[in-house]
Amino acid sequence: MAAAISRRRFGQGAIGALAGLADFGFLSQLQPLSAADTKLPSGALQFRPDIEPLVRLLETTSRDKLLEEIGARIRRGLSYRDVLTALLLAGVRNVRPRPVGFKFHAVLVVNSAHLASVQSPDEHRWLPIFWALDYFKQAQAQDEREGDWTMSKLDEAKLPTTSQAEAAFRTAMDAWDETAADTAAASLLRGSGLTGIFELLFRYGCRDFRDIGHKAIYVANSWRALGTIGSDHAEAVVRSLAYALLDRGGDAIHGDAPADRPIQRNRELAAKFSTAWKDGKLDDKATLELLKTLRDGSDEDSCRLVVEMLNRDVAPQSIWDALFVGAEELLIRQPGIVALHAVTSTNALHFAYRTTASDETRRLVLLQNAAFVPLFRKAMERRGALKEQSLDMLEPIKTSGVDEIFSDVGNDSMTAAGEMLGYLDAGGDPHQLMDTARLLIFLKGNNAHDYKFSSAVLEDYYHVSPRWRNRYLAASVFNLRGSKQPDNRLVERARAALRA
């Protein structure tokens, strides 16, 4: 179904420098689109006739003209949902999902851009989508330079029967068999629907630590995007997912690679949970205990401690609090690409945890996340020394308000973190902070991680217990945008395209 677009207006505390973007009321025209079809490359997958022409428009229009073309069509009635659908499918068809990251962020970022859009007032909601459209053209050009990968038509003659599809899919994924997984995934989707195949994809998405969490992120983001655009377009996405999840990064299929070891151990540990493991009590001391292990211990230490805690009646929420805070804390200790993926992958794994109907998958996801946070820490240590900073010891700083906080973001982020903590602890409105943070991403963000990270952390603020959530959000300033940072050039182009 079409997404409901929020009509909540921008918070009163938005900084003065943002006021010039208020005149976006003309962006609410939403009606169906019609367009002429164009010829596809030989052997390429073709989408349904109701969306294929718009996908081709995105594929064939040059980067320097695409926003203007889409803007003109929006003014004539092109719907938000159709733009989002075409954007996702164009990336799936044109950008090779290996490695899962890099240029493939053109697909990974679609749901994050959508989340930013629906949480914004009407006058700003097209900005993240236009950014993602431009980013797709950048990724498409890079893919063309690297071999011009295109998803091929499905080999219908090789599809297993509906009754055999689940077993065939499991067998193919366990054997890392790309050809068999492709046809089995399509057959399983046709027979069991989105829920049936995603129950398995949630599990395979957390199976290994390759691509620093992007596999789990792709599973979660694609499930969520399909919930917005509809399951009619799911087959290409599911096929792309299966191919992406089977990326071994050069490791031997039957080898004992480091990326595969946590799941081998955690399959055994998952069987040791008590039957009442979900019924424990919140325990801040347990959260602190696990945080210490996440900082200093191995991935195995963390996983074994999780099992021990659950079996002594600690609530899973107290464990998730440690995982959320432990991931965010890494940003303070070494800001950068690895730490931010600890945060975004934890967001994705927590989504899988609360979405799956399988108790076994839920156990595995929790344990894999407990393994991943120390693995992210170790990956960071290979890049350089980590600061001796702990988020639970962050001191609040008195601030004059939101403007002062975001003035310091990017210039003195440790001070900004203390100011944000002080603002929230004093009863400041978190929505005001979030609205400002989100709009600053629109204005100043220049890469997919700006959208992925901000959408994840602003969402997970409410998944962290009240005792910890202010500190969790405070740490986010190390990867948010500040008001003194330079604007990106795309906003003015988007405004012009939609006004013309």
* Chain segment 65-107, per-residue pLDDT in tens: 999 999 999 999 999 999 999 999 999 999 999 999 999 999 9
| Measured distance CA(434)–CA(441) in Å, rounded | 11
Structure tokens at 289: 């205990």
Taking residues 282-309, report their average pLDDT: 98
**pTM, entire model:** 0.92
pLDDT tens per residue across span 150-166: 999 999 999 999 999 99
Q: Is it the case that residue 472 has pLDDT exceeding 60? A: yes
In 3D, which of 497, 447, 500 has the Cα closest to residue 64?
Answer: 497
pLDDT at 326: 98
- Across the chain, mean pLDDT equals 92
What is the domain partition of the chain in residue ranges?
Answer: 16-145, 161-245, 260-381
SS3 250: coil
CA atoms 175, 176, 178, 181: torsion sign: positive
CA 111 to chain centre: 7
CA atoms 448, 450, 453, 459: torsion sign: negative
pLDDT at 124: 87
Q: Is it the case that residue 14 has pLDDT exceeding 60? A: no
By mean pLDDT, which of 34-43, 113-122, 334-343 is the weakest?
Answer: 34-43
CA atoms 305, 370, 209, 352: torsion sign: positive
Q: Is it the case that residue 18 has pLDDT exceeding 60? A: no
pLDDT tens per residue across span 208-246: 999 999 999 999 999 999 999 999 999 999 999 999 999
- At residue 450 the predicted structure's pLDDT band, cuts being 50, 70 and 90, is very high
pLDDT at 20: 38
pLDDT at 39: 61
| Measured distance CA(17)–CA(12) in Å, rounded | 13
In 3D, which of 320, 442, 466, 378 has the Cα closest to residue 18?
Answer: 442
Question: Inter-axis angle of helices 127-145 and 490-499, to 10 degrees?
Answer: 110
Taking residues 319-330, report their average pLDDT: 98
Furthest CA-CA distance within the chain: 67
- The region, left, alpha or beta by phi > 0 then psi within -120 to 50, assigned to residue 183 is alpha
The label of the residue with tokens 């803007």 reads: 71
pLDDT at 69: 97
Q: Is it the case that residue 437 has pLDDT exceeding 80? A: yes
Q: Is it the case that residue 475 has pLDDT exceeding 50? A: yes
State the amino acid at position 405 in one-letter form. Answer: I
pLDDT tens per residue across span 102-130: 999 999 999 999 999 999 888 888 999 99
Q: Is it the case that residue 15 has pLDDT exceeding 60? A: no
State the amino acid at position 101 in one-letter form. Answer: G
- At residue 256 the predicted structure's pLDDT band, cuts being 50, 70 and 90, is confident
| Measured distance CA(498)–CA(24) in Å, rounded | 9
pLDDT at 174: 96
DSSP for 27-40? G-----------PP
Residue 154, phi then psi, degrees to nearest 5: -75, 140
Encode burial over 112-151: b for 16+ CB neighbours within 10 A, e otherwise.
Answer: bbbbbbebbbbbbbbbbbbbbbbbbbebbeebeeeeeebb
Encode burial over 175-210: b for 16+ CB neighbours within 10 A, e otherwise.
Answer: ebeeebbbbbbbbbbbbbebebbbbbbbbbbbbbbb
pLDDT at 495: 85
Q: Is it the case that residue 24 has pLDDT exceeding 90? A: no
DSSP state of 410: T
Structure tokens at 107: 């697909």
| Measured distance CA(295)–CA(348) in Å, rounded | 21
pLDDT at 43: 86
% of the chain residues with pLDDT over 90: 87
By mean pLDDT, which of 120-124, 131-135, 160-164, 172-176 is the weakest?
Answer: 120-124
